[in-house]
Amino acid sequence: MGGILAILSVPTRKWNQDGVKTSKSIHIGRKKEREKKGRKDEEKCIPFKYRKRDESCGSKPKKIIEVLMINSQSGPGLLFPKGGWENDETVEEAAVREALEEAGIRGNIMEFLGFYYFKSKSHQDEFCPDGLCKAAMFAMHVTEELGSWPEQSMRQRRWLTIPEALEQCRHPWMQVALLEGFSKWHANTMMSSEEDDPGTISSTPAR
Protein backbone atom coordinates (compact mmCIF):
# COMPACT_ATOMS: atom_id res chain seq x y z
CA MET A 1 0.00 0.00 0.00
CA GLY A 2 2.80 2.47 0.70
CA GLY A 3 6.51 3.13 0.70
CA ILE A 4 7.16 1.97 -2.88
CA LEU A 5 9.91 4.11 -4.41
CA ALA A 6 11.26 2.46 -7.55
CA ILE A 7 9.77 3.00 -11.01
CA LEU A 8 9.77 -0.41 -12.62
CA SER A 9 6.98 -0.83 -15.14
CA VAL A 10 3.82 0.46 -16.71
CA PRO A 11 0.73 -0.83 -14.85
CA THR A 12 -0.99 -3.85 -16.36
CA ARG A 13 -4.54 -4.17 -15.08
CA LYS A 14 -7.02 -7.01 -14.94
CA TRP A 15 -10.24 -7.74 -13.10
CA ASN A 16 -10.40 -10.63 -10.66
CA GLN A 17 -13.44 -12.75 -9.88
CA ASP A 18 -14.65 -10.30 -7.23
CA GLY A 19 -14.61 -7.41 -9.66
CA VAL A 20 -11.48 -5.88 -8.13
CA LYS A 21 -9.15 -4.04 -10.46
CA THR A 22 -5.68 -5.39 -9.74
CA SER A 23 -2.18 -4.35 -10.74
CA LYS A 24 1.13 -6.14 -10.45
CA SER A 25 3.18 -3.05 -11.27
CA ILE A 26 4.42 -0.27 -9.04
CA HIS A 27 2.84 3.18 -8.85
CA ILE A 28 4.48 5.31 -11.53
CA GLY A 29 6.11 8.54 -10.45
CA ARG A 30 5.91 7.88 -6.72
CA LYS A 31 9.65 8.39 -6.20
CA LYS A 32 9.69 11.69 -8.08
CA GLU A 33 6.69 12.90 -6.12
CA ARG A 34 8.26 12.12 -2.77
CA GLU A 35 11.62 13.66 -3.71
CA LYS A 36 9.86 16.89 -4.55
CA LYS A 37 7.44 17.09 -1.65
CA GLY A 38 9.36 15.32 1.10
CA ARG A 39 6.22 13.51 2.16
CA LYS A 40 3.89 10.70 1.23
CA ASP A 41 0.40 11.49 -0.01
CA GLU A 42 -2.35 9.02 0.92
CA GLU A 43 -6.09 8.75 0.64
CA LYS A 44 -8.25 7.39 3.43
CA CYS A 45 -11.97 6.97 3.88
CA ILE A 46 -14.25 6.67 6.87
CA PRO A 47 -16.82 4.06 5.78
CA PHE A 48 -20.19 4.34 7.47
CA LYS A 49 -23.64 2.79 7.49
CA TYR A 50 -26.85 3.04 9.50
CA ARG A 51 -28.20 0.36 11.81
CA LYS A 52 -31.85 0.53 12.73
CA ARG A 53 -32.80 -0.08 16.34
CA ASP A 54 -36.35 -0.50 17.56
CA GLU A 55 -37.01 1.39 20.77
CA SER A 56 -39.14 -0.15 23.50
CA CYS A 57 -42.60 1.10 24.41
CA GLY A 58 -43.62 1.57 20.83
CA SER A 59 -41.22 4.42 20.12
CA LYS A 60 -40.21 5.11 16.55
CA PRO A 61 -37.07 3.35 15.28
CA LYS A 62 -33.74 5.05 15.72
CA LYS A 63 -30.89 4.98 13.21
CA ILE A 64 -27.50 4.38 14.78
CA ILE A 65 -24.51 5.39 12.69
CA GLU A 66 -21.55 3.00 12.65
CA VAL A 67 -18.12 3.33 11.06
CA LEU A 68 -15.93 0.54 9.77
CA MET A 69 -12.33 0.04 10.88
CA ILE A 70 -9.71 -2.59 10.12
CA ASN A 71 -6.87 -4.02 12.16
CA SER A 72 -3.34 -2.69 11.95
CA GLN A 73 -0.58 -5.06 10.86
CA SER A 74 2.04 -3.18 12.85
CA GLY A 75 0.54 -2.98 16.32
CA PRO A 76 -2.56 -2.48 18.48
CA GLY A 77 -5.47 -0.27 17.56
CA LEU A 78 -7.62 0.01 14.46
CA LEU A 79 -7.33 1.97 11.22
CA PHE A 80 -9.50 3.33 8.45
CA PRO A 81 -8.89 1.91 4.94
CA LYS A 82 -6.08 3.80 3.19
CA GLY A 83 -3.43 3.74 0.50
CA GLY A 84 -1.80 5.66 -2.32
CA TRP A 85 -3.25 6.37 -5.74
CA GLU A 86 -1.98 5.67 -9.22
CA ASN A 87 -1.51 8.04 -12.14
CA ASP A 88 -4.55 6.73 -13.99
CA GLU A 89 -7.06 7.31 -11.19
CA THR A 90 -8.42 10.17 -9.12
CA VAL A 91 -7.98 10.30 -5.37
CA GLU A 92 -11.69 9.47 -4.98
CA GLU A 93 -11.33 6.40 -7.20
CA ALA A 94 -8.31 5.34 -5.17
CA ALA A 95 -10.29 5.64 -1.93
CA VAL A 96 -13.01 3.37 -3.33
CA ARG A 97 -10.42 0.86 -4.59
CA GLU A 98 -8.52 0.70 -1.31
CA ALA A 99 -11.73 0.27 0.68
CA LEU A 100 -12.59 -2.72 -1.47
CA GLU A 101 -9.10 -4.24 -1.36
CA GLU A 102 -8.48 -3.74 2.36
CA ALA A 103 -11.97 -4.04 3.84
CA GLY A 104 -14.09 -5.78 1.19
CA ILE A 105 -16.68 -3.03 0.93
CA ARG A 106 -18.27 -1.05 -1.87
CA GLY A 107 -19.97 2.29 -1.51
CA ASN A 108 -20.32 5.91 -2.54
CA ILE A 109 -17.98 8.75 -1.69
CA MET A 110 -20.18 11.35 -0.01
CA GLU A 111 -17.83 14.14 1.02
CA PHE A 112 -14.21 15.27 1.15
CA LEU A 113 -13.47 15.83 4.84
CA GLY A 114 -10.14 17.62 4.53
CA PHE A 115 -6.39 17.00 4.63
CA TYR A 116 -4.72 15.60 7.74
CA TYR A 117 -0.97 15.58 8.39
CA PHE A 118 0.89 13.05 10.50
CA LYS A 119 4.27 11.37 10.80
CA SER A 120 4.94 7.67 10.34
CA LYS A 121 8.20 5.89 11.16
CA SER A 122 7.40 3.26 8.55
CA HIS A 123 7.57 5.94 5.83
CA GLN A 124 10.92 7.41 6.84
CA ASP A 125 13.59 7.15 4.12
CA GLU A 126 16.07 9.32 2.22
CA PHE A 127 13.28 11.09 0.35
CA CYS A 128 11.03 11.54 3.37
CA PRO A 129 13.37 11.62 6.42
CA ASP A 130 10.68 12.86 8.81
CA GLY A 131 8.09 10.33 7.65
CA LEU A 132 5.64 13.16 6.96
CA CYS A 133 2.34 12.06 5.41
CA LYS A 134 -0.63 13.98 4.05
CA ALA A 135 -3.95 12.13 4.04
CA ALA A 136 -6.99 13.17 2.03
CA MET A 137 -9.99 11.97 4.04
CA PHE A 138 -13.40 11.07 2.61
CA ALA A 139 -16.74 9.93 4.01
CA MET A 140 -17.97 6.78 2.26
CA HIS A 141 -21.51 5.41 2.57
CA VAL A 142 -21.22 1.62 2.39
CA THR A 143 -23.72 -0.16 0.16
CA GLU A 144 -22.22 -3.66 -0.01
CA GLU A 145 -20.03 -5.92 2.13
CA LEU A 146 -18.22 -8.71 0.29
CA GLY A 147 -17.80 -12.16 1.77
CA SER A 148 -14.25 -12.35 0.42
CA TRP A 149 -11.76 -9.67 -0.62
CA PRO A 150 -8.08 -9.36 -1.63
CA GLU A 151 -6.62 -8.67 1.84
CA GLN A 152 -9.01 -10.86 3.80
CA SER A 153 -6.16 -13.00 5.14
CA MET A 154 -4.46 -9.91 6.63
CA ARG A 155 -7.38 -7.70 7.62
CA GLN A 156 -10.33 -8.07 9.94
CA ARG A 157 -13.11 -5.49 9.78
CA ARG A 158 -15.22 -4.17 12.64
CA TRP A 159 -18.31 -2.00 12.72
CA LEU A 160 -18.22 0.42 15.65
CA THR A 161 -20.25 3.30 17.01
CA ILE A 162 -18.39 6.59 16.95
CA PRO A 163 -17.53 6.49 20.70
CA GLU A 164 -16.24 2.93 20.27
CA ALA A 165 -14.21 3.93 17.21
CA LEU A 166 -12.64 6.84 19.09
CA GLU A 167 -11.35 4.42 21.71
CA GLN A 168 -9.93 2.07 19.08
CA CYS A 169 -8.16 4.61 16.83
CA ARG A 170 -4.49 3.71 16.56
CA HIS A 171 -3.36 7.32 16.16
CA PRO A 172 -4.62 10.59 17.71
CA TRP A 173 -4.98 12.32 14.33
CA MET A 174 -7.57 9.70 13.36
CA GLN A 175 -9.64 10.73 16.38
CA VAL A 176 -9.47 14.34 15.19
CA ALA A 177 -10.56 13.31 11.69
CA LEU A 178 -13.45 11.31 13.10
CA LEU A 179 -14.67 14.06 15.43
CA GLU A 180 -13.76 17.30 13.66
CA GLY A 181 -14.17 16.00 10.13
CA PHE A 182 -16.68 13.18 9.86
CA SER A 183 -18.94 13.83 12.85
CA LYS A 184 -19.31 17.55 12.14
CA TRP A 185 -20.00 16.90 8.47
CA HIS A 186 -22.60 14.29 9.35
CA ALA A 187 -24.30 16.55 11.87
CA ASN A 188 -24.45 19.44 9.42
CA THR A 189 -25.56 17.61 6.29
CA MET A 190 -27.15 14.26 7.11
CA MET A 191 -29.56 15.24 9.86
CA SER A 192 -31.84 16.73 7.22
CA SER A 193 -32.78 13.16 6.31
CA GLU A 194 -35.05 13.17 9.37
CA GLU A 195 -37.52 15.17 7.32
CA ASP A 196 -37.85 12.27 4.88
CA ASP A 197 -37.41 9.42 7.35
CA PRO A 198 -39.50 9.01 10.53
CA GLY A 199 -36.49 7.57 12.34
CA THR A 200 -33.91 9.73 14.05
CA ILE A 201 -30.16 9.34 13.78
CA SER A 202 -27.86 8.73 16.71
CA SER A 203 -24.09 8.30 16.93
CA THR A 204 -24.43 6.16 20.06
CA PRO A 205 -26.74 3.26 20.89
CA ALA A 206 -29.55 4.05 23.29
CA ARG A 207 -29.13 2.42 26.68
Q: If you ran DSSP here, which 8-state letter would residue 199 be given?
A: S
Q: What is the per-residue pLDDT for 136?
A: 92
Return the bridge partners of 117, or none.
Answer: 134
Gap between the Cα atoms of 81 and 21, Å rounded: 17
Gap between the Cα atoms of 191 and 194, Å rounded: 6
Give DSSP secondary structure letters for 143-198. Answer: EEE-S--TTTTT--EEEEEHHHHHHHBSSHHHHHIIIIIIIHHHHHHTGGGGGT-S
Fold of 38-202: Nucleoside Triphosphate Pyrophosphohydrolase (3.90.79)
Region 109-135 average pLDDT: 77
pLDDT tens track for 150-190: 999 999 999 999 999 999 999 999 999 999 999 999 998 86
Region 35-45 average pLDDT: 73
The yes-or-no verdict on residue 33 having pLDDT over 60 is no
pLDDT above 70: percentage of residues in the chain: 63
Q: What angle do CA 86, 90, 91 make, to 5 degrees?
A: 85
